[in-house]
Amino acid sequence: MSSEGDFQNNTAVSQKEPNHRKGLISVVVPCFNESAVIGVFYQELKRILIALDGLEHEIVFIDDGSIDDTLAQLDQIARKDPCVRVGSFSRNFGHQIALTAGLDVVVGEAVITMDADLQHPPELIPQMIDKWKSGYDIVSCVRDSTEGASFLKNVTSRGFYRIINLMSETPIPYGAADFNLLSQRAYMALRNMPERHRFLRGMTSWIGFKRTFLPYTARKRAGGESKYTVVKMVTLALDAILSFSAAPLRIATRLGLLVTFLGFSYLMYILCRYFFLGDTVQGWASLISATLMLGGFNLVSVGLVGQYLSRIFEEVKGRPIYIFKQEPSRPGQSQSPEGPKEQSS
């Protein structure tokens, strides 16, 4: 286990280590159990990248602790293609952390982040690069629609973006995905944001810089199943809201005042009935109403405070946010699995 000093040293190294290469486009692709689609994705992506005029490329795959043969397929691709680098986590750390790890190791003049399921169409990459060349630091692809998406999926997606934009001072465009092109100074800014509970769509909006958007229609997955279960989607939503807004705490305060007002109003109502109608059971109604309202409110408030405190607790421990069991090789180095090595963003 690393000490706090080791963690800080690792952080400093990750920020200073890369030697950026002019004219190199890096592509970061997180993978978790993508055995059914990774080969097709690589072929489509490679076809687009080799057609780029006057630009070199590297593809950095981050295996997020897959339990199928995704890593074996990636290593086979890397042995045949010197432009491919493969890193693998010691366990599953999550999609946002895998993207972060990729951003930590790229050496390109610009980096493109995208998923391996072909819902992010590689055909948009030339347009993204054209926008970057015209002076934009961030080119974000925003999803207009998703082929085959259910009504419930669309409703919950729209609801999430509305809620986060109401609560946060950092606006996040509806349909924003983790399909972005980031200039060198943009992705270096993200490297300097070491928080553990990461919502990169919000972080990309927060850093500022000149930004433009490209609409697209997300295809159906080319194979396999979505790794974002309901639980993971709820967790991501909580990370987004709690990482970018203190509004839940302010709402709890306002609800507390409202509950106090309602409790006082109900008490006045009970007293009026007691003195003028005499039809109340003494003590029962007021006790039950006060207990239910104040008890429920207290539980919600304590839960909200606990969410923020738990995040503070995890931050101050200073653990690395991911660990490689196989590090992505640097350009010109061989790809070789080593012992577990701690990395931090």
DSSP reduced 3-state for 64 = coil
Assess contact for 257 and 293: CB atoms under 8 A.
no
Task: Say what the pLDDT of residue 26 is.
Answer: 93
pLDDT digits (tens, 9 = 90+) for 224-262: 555 555 565 666 666 666 666 656 666 666 676 677 677
Of 170-184, 276-290, 292-306, highest mean pLDDT: 170-184
Compare 123 and 163 and report the one with higher pLDDT: 123
Could you give the strand order of the β-sheet that contains 138-146, starting from the edge strand earlier in sequence? 211-218, 138-146, 176-183, 108-113, 21-31, 56-63, 84-89, 322-326, 341-343
The residue to which tokens 């490329």 are assigned: 57
Residue 267 has pLDDT above 60, yes or no: yes
pLDDT in tens, 144-199: 766 655 556 656 666 666 666 666 666 777 767 788 999 988 899 888 887 777 77
- pTM: predicted TM-score of the whole model, two decimal places: 0.66
Side-chain half-sphere CA neighbours of 76 within 13 A? 9
Q: Which residues of 144-171 are buried (b: 16+ CB within 10 A; e: fewer)?
A: eebeeeeeeeeeebeebbeebbebbebe
Longest dimension (CA), the chain: 90
